[in-house]
Structure formats: C-alpha cells, structure tokens
Structure 1
C-alpha cells in the first residue's frame, strides 16, 4: 500500500532552505551540470556524492590536486554544502589501519573546509555485507565503531563533524537493530547519525521509530521513498510516511536538515531535475505545515 503524501503533483512552491538535494540525485551528469540543475530547481543546499561506483562527483580516494578545482565548481554554483557523503572503504578493515583512515579523510576534510561543508558522512560497514547473520557480526560491528571513532577524531579536531548513515539495506548495519549498535559501541565519540527513509522502510522498519531510536544523535535526514526490499522509489511512490516523520521531528525539536537522495529507478535520467524540484516542493510543504515544537 503506497503511503499518501500531500501535494505530490507538480511542485511550484519555494523550496525550504532546510531541504537540500544530494548530487547523487543527478549522478549521471557532470558535477557542474548537476549543481546547475539543482540550483535551477530552487534548492540552495546540496550534499556532495563521493561514493565509488554510485556517484563519483567527488572521486575517492580524492587526489589532493583535485580538491581546489572541485571546490571552485561548487563555490561557483552558489549552493551551500551540508555534507560530503563519502565511502572511504570497508570500515571493518580500516579499523586496524588508522593511518589509512586519516590519509583518505584528509583531502575530503580539505574539500569540506573549502566548500563550507560542516560535516562528512560515512557508511556503517562495507557494501554487500548485509547478508551476515546477527550472531556472527559482533566483531564487525565493533570494528566499524572503532573506525568511526578514529574518523571522528580526525574530522572534529579541525572543526568538521562526522556523521554515519544507518541503516543501509546493502551494508553491515542493514536494519534498525544493527544500526543502533555501532552508535552504542562508539560510546561518547562525536558521531552523528543520518537517517535514510528509504533504507529504514526497505528493511521493514518505521521512520518515526528510527528517529526516536537515534534521539539526540540524529544529525541529518536523507529522503527517498521505498517499499520493503526496494529503495529506489520517487517521493510519494512508496510506503514512507514523510508527513509523520516531519511532524515527529518538528515536535521533538529536530533542527537539522533534509536532503533528497533520489537514486530512483522509476524516472528517466532526463526527468530527474524536474522530479527533484517536485519532491523538494512536496517536502517543503510538509515542513511548512508541521505544527511547531511543543514548549
């Protein structure tokens, strides 16, 4: 049953400044073209995709000599950057190589600083590790937590926050139960959590429950629709109850931002810019209509 989303027709209202668009949404375009379409759609903020094999707008590993040219393209777009969403490699393995974590993060940190991005986002586990049995993944979870702690030390020491995205149905932390464990294992390490609505619903979870579970650690929200087992739906074409999530976050005082990550399979590439603008208008309307935080 597809969840109803108010106003899922063509969006014409202004995009709320808290609703950004990840360049992953237009990953088939060169970075400058993707940014141009995002700005033309009314957005003022982006996440930069740095995910090998998914979105290479920012290559990883990032050569030092590429940092300033990429930053120049971003600055020329006039768009703010909320986070550099990067996969620096399998954290389960990198946990035992802190120097490699620092080496791969260093140019990404420089890019974040050069573009004014307040945070870098990393995944919770290597791609393709979602088939692990819960009983067999404790060592891997602890390793991911160690890697995130090391990464947080490297970023926060120079004023850049570290976020981790979980759950992710194709990675170690594939559902809400697993997603909570690296955060718990990392203890007081300053790692914020990114909630991706599509991965929560595709893994059989509920977005409001996930937001409650992360509590004060929730730092950012990725927006895409989904049904169980399928994360590739456009906004309003799946089971995600966006209105309930926005209402919950508003009433609990969440002041972070949202980013459309429309890696969808139900629109063609040439439809993506218009689809992003439509989805941005829909989510902006939900934010405008959410009742204010309780006092």
Structure 2
C-alpha cells in the first residue's frame, strides 16, 4: 500500500527535529529529510544532531521515506534563494565532483542511520565547456563510486530527473539505469517534473515499474505549457486519481512524498491541505 510522507524542505524555518514533529502532527506516516541547510548539511551535521533527530523519529513513530540530497546550498557562503545543483556529479573540476560524490556518501550514511530505503540525487546541468556526452562520462564515473558505497549499506539511489538537467525525463533515466545495470540505481520520480517536460504522468509511472525508489508529489499548473512551480495538490492540473491508479497498476508499495518547499512561510497549511486532498487515495 502507498503511504504518504512529507518533505522537511517545506520547513526550512524550523529545526529538523521540529519539522519531523510537525509532519507527524499532520497525520503523515513518513518524512523525507532535506540533506542540506538548514536541516542536514552533512559537513556540519554531527553526532548530537543525529541523536536529536533519532529522538524525534522515535517519539513520533515516523518512518523516513528518503534522504533528499538533490541540493547543497550549504556549500556556498551566500547562496541565492533557489535550488542549487552545484557542485554536481557531472562537474568537470575533479575536486568539486569528488566533493559531491562524498556528500552523497554522507547522505547514504544518514539513510542507513535512520533506516531510509533510498537517497535521491539530481545530475545537475552540463556547464559551459562540458558537452553532454562528456558530462555523461562523469556521471557514470560518479555513480559507480556512489553505488558501490550504497550497495554495501543496502540503500538505493534514485536519480531525480528534471527539465534542463543532464537527465531530464523518464526515458533518459531508464536508459541510464540500463547502461549502468546496477540493481541499486532507480528513479526518484517527481510527477511535476514529468508533467512540465510534457510527459503523460501515469504512463511515466507505468514505464518505470520496478525502478521507482521514491516518489515526489506536488501539483503543477499548465503541464508542459506551465511553469515548474510546486503547488498543493488540488491547486493545479494534475490527475491524482490517474497517478494513484498507475501506482496501483505497477504494485508500488513505497512512500509518496509531498515536496512543497514553495510554502516556507506556511508549511503546516501546505502539509494539512495536501494530506486532506490525497488521503482518499492511500
């Protein structure tokens, strides 16, 4: 059975343990943990932080659906208020690329600590001077290192595709999985990203059967003609009945995680209204 989780990346005005408690109070079975500032930016996330997090999880009984390691804004002294994928696993600079590989290893460590099934990772954009075919070579090298580490710890790695990134749609993600041929590599399927790219979201889900490590849910206005802006389910155009029917068709029984980082000033409302909109499907 699919269960609902909520990402702490909506609760950036709160400490991680408080975010976990608030998510539990809104009825969710799980929480996705933001692997970045202000929650679990790994170079600064120490033993005391882990103990506080584990206490909150034990007190609430929440499971952890995923460690979201897509961004690393804490890397920058003065990061702008938008998602950063740099330094990415396709960066031409060897030291920067290895920094991101090691960062992902630390996300895997946290997943092992909190018994999360997976971490998610975005590929980043090919930067000037790095053509896509070269970036893909870097991606293979980076993922091979990451997957070796993940498999020793029984953690899956889900590539989260997004328009304009090196891996930007379902077909490209599935091709990557075939190329690397590693059981621990899958897709963290964000339904809004599929919709903005122009995909039929239920068909994307069906095509990804057996490869989905996790799911991000949000609503989107306008589909391919719209903008990539995460909205509370019911405030956009996505067909959630069709989405959950497709999940049922493929026998998916993991978490569906609401990712509503676009509501930092009112995360409780976003969590409450999203749950009310989707609870009939789970």
Q: Same fold (TM over 0.5)?
A: yes
Residues 57 and 203 from structure 1, CA distance in 2 versus in 1: closer, same or farther, beyond 3 angstroms?
same
The Cα RMSD (Å) is 2.9
Give the distance between the partners of 1:96 and 1:268, measured in 2 at CA. Answer: 35
Q: Are the counterparts in 2 of residues 130 and 173 from structure 1 also a CA contact under 8 Å?
A: no
Quote the Cα distance in structure 1 between the aligned partners of 2:100 and 2:269: 38
- What is the rounded CA distance, in whole Å, between the counterparts of 2:127 and 2:271 in structure 1? 32
* Cα displacement (A) at 1:100: 4.4
CA 1:93–1:21 in structure 2 vs 1: closer, same or farther (change >3 Å)?
same
Aligned to 1:120: 119
TM-score of the two chains, using structure 1 as the length reference:
0.76
Structure 1 residue 25 displacement after superposition: 2.4
Given that 1:17 and 1:43 are in contact with CA atoms closer than 8 Å, whether structure 2 keeps it comes out as: no
C-alpha contact 1:62 1:108 (8 A) present in aligned 2: no
Aligned residues: 260
Q: Give the corresponding residue for 2:272.
A: 277
- The verdict on how the C-alpha distance between 1:229 and 1:180 changes in structure 2, with shifts beyond 3 A counting, is farther
Return the alpha-carbon distance in structure 1 between the equivalents of residues 57 and 164 of structure 2.
Answer: 29
The one of the two structures with greater contact order (alpha-carbon pairs below 8 A, sep at least 6) is 1
Q: Contact between 1:164 and 1:193, CA under 8 Å: does it hold in 2? A: yes
- Partner Cα separation in structure 2 for residue 115 and residue 280 of structure 1: 23
Q: 1:156 to 1:68 in 2, by over 3 A?
A: farther
Determine the C-alpha separation between the residues in 1 that align with 2:182 and 2:107: 24
Q: Is the 8 A contact 1:45 1:81 kept in 2?
A: yes
Q: Say if 1:67 and 1:110, in contact at 8 Å, map to a contact too.
A: no
> Structure 2: any 5+ residue segments left out of the alignment?
73-86
Give the structure 1 partner of residue 256 of structure 2: 258
Which residue of the partner structure matches residue 212 of structure 2?
Answer: 218
Q: Which secondary structure does the structure 1 equivalent of 2:220 belong to?
A: strand
CA distance in 2 between counterparts of 1:182 and 1:142 reads 11
Most deviating of 143-152 and 103-112: 103-112
The TM-score normalised by the length of structure 2 is 0.79
The Cα of 1:102 is off from its aligned counterpart by 5.8
C-alpha distance in structure 2 between counterparts of 1:47 and 1:119, whole Å: 10
Call closer, same or farther: CA 1:201–1:111 in 2, change over 3 Å.
same
Matched ranges for 1:114-263 at <5 A: 114-123=113-122, 125-126=123-124, 129=125, 136-166=131-161, 168-169=162-163, 171-227=165-221, 228-263=226-261
